[in-house]
Amino acid sequence: MKSEPKITSSQLGIGDMDPAEFRAAAHRVADIVADYLETVGSRRVLPDFRPGDGKRRLPEEPPASPEPLEAILADYLSLVEPNVTHWQHPGFLAYFSSVASGPGILGEWLAAGLNSNVMLWRVAPVSTELEQVVVGWLRRMLGLPASFDGMFTDTASTSSLTSILAARHVLPGLDARREGLSGREGLGRLRLYCSTEAHSSIERAAIVAGVGLSGVRRVPADSEYRMRPDALASAIAEDRAAGWWPFCVVATLGTTSSTSVDPADAIAEICEREKLWLHVDAAYGGAAALAEEYRPLFRGWERADSIVVNPHKWMFTPFDASLLLFRRPEAYRDAFRLVPEYLKTPEGEIARNFNEYGIPLGRRFRALKMWMMIRWFGAGGIAARVREHCRRARELASWIDADPDWERLAPVPFATVCFRRRPAALRGREGEPAVAADLDRTNETILERVNRTGEVFLSHTKLAGRYTLRVAIGNPRTTGAHVRRCWEILREAAEGEGGAA
Ligand SMILES: Cc1ncc(COP(=O)(O)O)c(C=O)c1O
């Protein structure tokens, strides 16, 4: 007979969960996660869940008294686990992947157990130094020189914001740290440059940094969605003549829509000449530099002032983990450092106090999961997986190229393919407004049908105004068979669409 779930005596006391009780529960949770990972591929990637479904099933009031763990886990299993969108699913090919590998999950669990807050060396000595070492490992793995120091943040958005604030800080004559930005005489308006393809996090950083959206100049891209250095140079000249204060350029190596790669070398040349901070957003693409043959795409990024690469995107690290590398740590420290009495420690000047280099005081112990992951896979093992994802993407691109009813809409430098259904009969007529609108509608319908199958989940973007389907490969659980099946599903979904059959 099944026994009733019980409230335990530790729940009725005023301390924490009893260690023996915790041990049993942790084993149970480990089984739940292992079961999940074992079966995730057989679920629908997108759950059958409508807005409000969760709130309707959850009590508005928190429980006033303890509930049995068994009941909580039962609700987790019936309500939470089946109703997430399954980022761990091999058919999750939307956006960019964000996959938690086994060793990464184990590292996250251990970090949760320690709850080491990596704000000051004193309160996190080995955690601080492990972070420094793992940042160094990643720097080497990416082929970057020892002149880069760095740290982990939560997201690329934070890494870019922090860097843009450091760039603002070193701009002569501004001293926003002390004086702020408003109500001052004689200041020019701040200007930041990025391409038309740059991620919205750069504009968000500009909002926060007091640059404002109108202070962001979107530099035109070429036909392959890469920033045009000639257009950047003339934009800077024009702005200087008009009294703007240019201070920062963001180059994107692996843009969000098409994964295009801005020419970092030519952009670095301009930044050095113009004395502008160069920030490289390689949040997605950076992982490809783990494989040596992709390094030529990154030529010039070693000249940047700061670089962001997200291990939580394409390096199988559980969310969150963003690697921020910088060449001038003092720019960050000077921009952010505040040491009130209660944060003074004897090691202040001889050891790193990471909180002084960014915005938050408290910081998660992110290095542990990366340390475990890099050791478990080996640097070569991570690179081999990234390489394989790129190969599969090229394979998919070749199938698309070989089918006259489909059209690829961007080069495939990494592991993301951008394309659309364009029936052979309509070739050459894509520019006609009625045809263009029809193609957009067709591809939107295809995407809906594909996602309704539950087998794969794809997302879309617009490239040169055209509705574009995207397949982003980046999950070690995604096999060649999954990619083949995805292509089959796309073609099935297109049957009868657009008069091509
Ligand atoms: C190029 C690029 N930069 C930045 C971001 C934002 O990443 P995060 O969610 O870590 O802030 C993304 C997200 O996809 C991205 O593609």
- CATH number of the domain encompassing residue 215: 3.40.640.10
At 499, the pLDDT band (50, 70, 90 cuts) reads very low
Read off the tokens for 457.
């989940």
Question: Rounded distance, CA 14 to CA 427, Å?
Answer: 72
Q: Is residue 78 part of a domain?
A: no
Domain with 427, as residue range(s), is 380-494
| 185 and 165, same domain (yes or no) | yes
Helix or strand holding residue 294 (H, E): none
Pocket test for ligand 1, best of 96, 199, 315 (most atoms within 8 A of CB): 199
Atom index in ligand 1 nearest the CA of residue 95 equals: 14
Q: Which atom of ligand 1 is nearest to the CA of 252?
A: 1
Last residue of a domain, one of 348, 377, 406: 377
23 found inside a domain:
no
3-class secondary-structure state, position 297? helix
Which residues on adjacent β-strands are paired with residue 324? Answer: 151, 308
22 burial (CB, 10 Å; 0-12 / 13-18 / 19+) is middle
Which residue lies with its CA nearest to atom 15 of ligand 1? 256
User: Has residue 421 been placed in a domain?
Assistant: yes
Q: Give residue-wise pLDDT tens across range 247-266.
A: 999 999 999 999 999 999 99
Number of helices followed by number of strands (H, E) in the chain: 17, 11
* Same domain (yes/no): 183, 330: yes
Q: Kindly report the protein residue whose alpha carbon is nearest to atom 5 of ligand 1.
A: 156
315 shares a domain with 253: yes
Ligand 1 pocket test: pick from 203, 313, 315 the residue with the most ligand atoms within 8 Å of its Cβ: 313
Question: Which pLDDT score is estimated for 496?
Answer: 75
Site residues for ligand 1, CB cut-off 6 Å: 96, 155-157, 199, 201, 252, 254-256, 281, 283-284, 310, 322
122 Cα to the center of ligand 1, angstroms:
32
d(CA 21, CA 28): 11
Give the residue, out of 99, 201, 306, with the most ligand 1 atoms within 8 A of its beta carbon, to mutate for a pocket test.
Answer: 201
Q: Are residues 385 and 334 in the same domain?
A: no
Ligand 1 centre from 365 Cα, in Å?
A: 21
Q: How far is the CA of 284 from the centre of ligand 1 (A)?
A: 7
Q: Are 280 and 253 in contact (CB under 8 A)?
A: yes
- Counting ligand 1 atoms within 8 A of each CB, the residue from 159, 310, 364, 414 with the most, and so the one to mutate, is 310
Structure token pair of residue 451: 């996602």
**Which ligand 1 atom is the nearest neighbour of the CA of 157?**
11
Q: How far is CA 320 from CA 108, 124, 126, 436, in A?
A: 10, 19, 20, 39
Output the 3-class SS for 424-437.
HHHCCCCCCHHHHH
CA dihedral 136, 284, 196, 434 (to 10 degrees): 170
* pLDDT tens per residue, range 134-170: 999 999 999 999 999 999 999 999 999 999 999 999 9
Ligand 1: residue of 87, 194, 208, 256 to mutate (most ligand atoms within 8 A of CB) is 256
* Total count of domains within the chain: 2
Q: What is the average pLDDT across 82-98? A: 97
Residues 367 and 385 in one domain: no
Band (pLDDT 50/70/90 cuts) for residue 1 is low
Find the 111 Cα to ligand 1 centroid distance in Å.
24
Q: CA of 13: how far to CAs of 65, 67, 300, in Å?
A: 12, 13, 60
Question: What's the mean pLDDT when you consider all of the chain?
Answer: 97
Q: pLDDT tens-digit profile of 265-288?
A: 999 999 999 999 999 999 999 999
Q: What is the pTM of this model?
A: 0.97
User: Which atom belonging to ligand 1 lies closest to the Cα atom of 96?
Assistant: 14
| Ligand 1 geometric centre to CA of 309 (Å) | 9
* pLDDT score, position 500: 40
Domain finish residue from 332, 362, 377? 377
Looking at the fold, whether 266 and 122 belong to one and the same domain comes out as: yes
Examine the fold and report which residue of 377, 407, 432 is the final residue of a domain before the chain moves on: 377
Pair 357, 312 in one domain: yes
C-alpha to C-alpha distance for 16 and 25, rounded to whole angstroms: 14
The per-residue pLDDT for range 179-217, each reduced to its tens digit, is: 999 999 999 999 999 999 999 999 999 999 999 999 999
Q: Supply the Cα-derived Rg of the chain in whole angstroms.
A: 25
Distance 282 CA to ligand 1 centre (A): 9
How many angstroms does the Cα of residue 160 sit away from the middle of ligand 1? Answer: 10
Does some domain include residue 281? yes
In a domain, 278, yes or no: yes
Gap from CA of 313 to ligand 1 centroid (Å): 8
The DSSP line for 320-343 is: --EEEEES-HHHHHHHH----GGG
Residue 320 CB contacts under 8 Å (≥ 6 apart), including other chains: 154, 155, 312, 364, 366
Cis omega before residue 320 (within 30°)? yes
